[in-house]
Amino acid sequence: MTDLPGLPGTYALLLHLDAPTPLTVGRLGSFTFPAGDYVYVGSARGPGGLRARVRRHARAGKRRHWHIDHLLGHARLAAVHAVVDAERRECAWAAALSRLPGAEVIAPGFGASDCRCPTHLVHFRQGIPIERLRQLLVTRPEDLLSNLRQAIATADNETSEAITHALAVDSKATSLLLPLLKEEDADTRWWAVRALAAVGDAEAVSPLIQALNDSDEPVRCAAALALAQLRCDKAIPALVVLLADESGWVRQSAADALALFGKAAVPMLVQALEDERDGVRVRAAYALNKIRSMQAATPLFRALNDPNYLVRTYTYEALDGMGLLDVILVG
């Protein structure tokens, strides 16, 4: 902490709180801060830069001026991560941290009085290593991509997952990730799909549809579920085609994805319910059972006579779940 440069930059404080602690944070209000790790992000632009700002945070007995001063009176300052940069990055860092698995906002508005961020303080009940923060909180998206490659190469799935969420808040993320879909390594392509799903913009849809034809089964499965997450209806025809994939695992992923589209997928699923291939009809019936739309009622009644037992089972469950079998029996 003492060797930080006296230059402007952005910093992250890693704090640890041993026990739940009720605190009143100035005008922000009163909160009970659970035990665990906290990451607070801020910027240093005044005299002395990062060195002066972090030294003040670490000093005991100071006057409480900022929101973080209230928490620092009870939490232990475990580590500091800082970068020298003329650009203010604390808002982007806070957004990236808030998207991480396990991230919680305990005090809305904490440290964000002069911006529109939900918070600049994020809680991690299960903890977060400072090494991961250093991999996530960088100055350029290209650095994040480099760190992602390293995490994939070392099979560090937790860090890879964290980086995909951190990438998602950067406007350049999609253009940086697209080349990864063409790499020879299947794990790299899988994580590219996973990251594009986290980014969630329209530019990612067409590459993800193309990834449905990837030679690797897990990549095809990931692409199917990613498209369902993005909810772009133009992906539905390609997902219906995937119901005929040679892999049962992929067929099931496509069916799960189509079920998540809901009513938008019903017309094409109804067509698939008449396909000559058993595997296609079974997954179509499965998805329609999940959706349970009245739009599919008549085709489902016809499918009760399907020669395949699973098709009949799924269609019976769908009609029963919609209350249509009761109507027939009562009538």
Q: Considering the domain boundaries, does residue 135 fall inside one? A: no
Question: Of 182, 201, 230, which one is at a domain's C-terminal end?
Answer: 230
Q: Considering the domain boundaries, does residue 51 fall inside one? A: yes
Structure tokens at 322: 């919609």
- For the chain, helix (H) and strand (E) counts, in that order, are 17, 7
Q: Considering the domain boundaries, does residue 177 fall inside one? A: yes
DSSP 70: H
pLDDT computed for residue 330 by the predictor: 44
Instruction: Looking at the structure, tell me whether residues 123 and 144 fall in a common domain.
Output: no
pLDDT computed for residue 194 by the predictor: 94
Instruction: Looking at the structure, tell me whether residues 220 and 313 fall in a common domain.
Output: no
Nearest to 285 by CA among 315, 243, 262, 264: 315
Instruction: Looking at the structure, tell me whether residues 226 and 247 fall in a common domain.
Output: no
Instruction: Looking at the structure, tell me whether residues 219 and 243 fall in a common domain.
Output: no
The pLDDT averaged over each successive group of 10 residues in the chain (331 residues) is: 81 96 92 96 89 88 84 93 90 93 94 91 94 91 92 93 88 90 96 92 91 97 95 94 95 96 96 95 97 94 95 95 71 43
**pLDDT 10s digits, 6-51:** 899 999 999 999 999 999 998 899 999 999 999 999 999 888 899 9
Contact assessment for residue 318 and residue 296, using Cβ atoms and an 8 Å cutoff: yes
Instruction: Looking at the structure, tell me whether residues 43 and 80 fall in a common domain.
Output: yes
Residues facing 15 on adjacent strands: 38, 77
Q: Considering the domain boundaries, does residue 275 fall inside one? A: yes
Instruction: Looking at the structure, tell me whether residues 308 and 271 fall in a common domain.
Output: yes
The angle at the Cα of 247, spanning 242 to 248, to the nearest 5 degrees, equals 90
Question: Of 100, 130, 160, which one is at a domain's C-terminal end?
Answer: 130
Q: Considering the domain boundaries, does residue 157 fall inside one? A: yes
pLDDT computed for residue 63 by the predictor: 78
Instruction: Looking at the structure, tell me whether residues 196 and 224 fall in a common domain.
Output: yes
The residue segments making up the domain with residue 318 are 232-331
pLDDT computed for residue 238 by the predictor: 97
Whether the full predicted model's pTM is greater than 0.85, yes or no, is: no
Q: Considering the domain boundaries, does residue 95 fall inside one? A: yes
Contact assessment for residue 102 and residue 126, using Cβ atoms and an 8 Å cutoff: yes
Q: Considering the domain boundaries, does residue 253 fall inside one? A: yes
Reported as type and span, the H/E element at residue 230 is helix 217-230
**pLDDT 10s digits, 232-268:** 899 999 999 999 999 999 999 999 999 999 999 999 9
Instruction: Looking at the structure, tell me whether residues 88 and 185 fall in a common domain.
Output: no
Q: Considering the domain boundaries, does residue 50 fall inside one? A: yes
Question: Of 92, 107, 130, which one is at a domain's C-terminal end?
Answer: 130
Instruction: Looking at the structure, tell me whether residues 259 and 150 fall in a common domain.
Output: no
Instruction: Looking at the structure, tell me whether residues 65 and 88 fall in a common domain.
Output: yes
Instruction: Looking at the structure, tell me whether residues 238 and 275 fall in a common domain.
Output: yes
CATH number of the domain enclosing 302: 1.25.10.10
Instruction: Looking at the structure, tell me whether residues 72 and 167 fall in a common domain.
Output: no
Structural domain count of the chain: 3
Contact assessment for residue 131 and residue 121, using Cβ atoms and an 8 Å cutoff: no
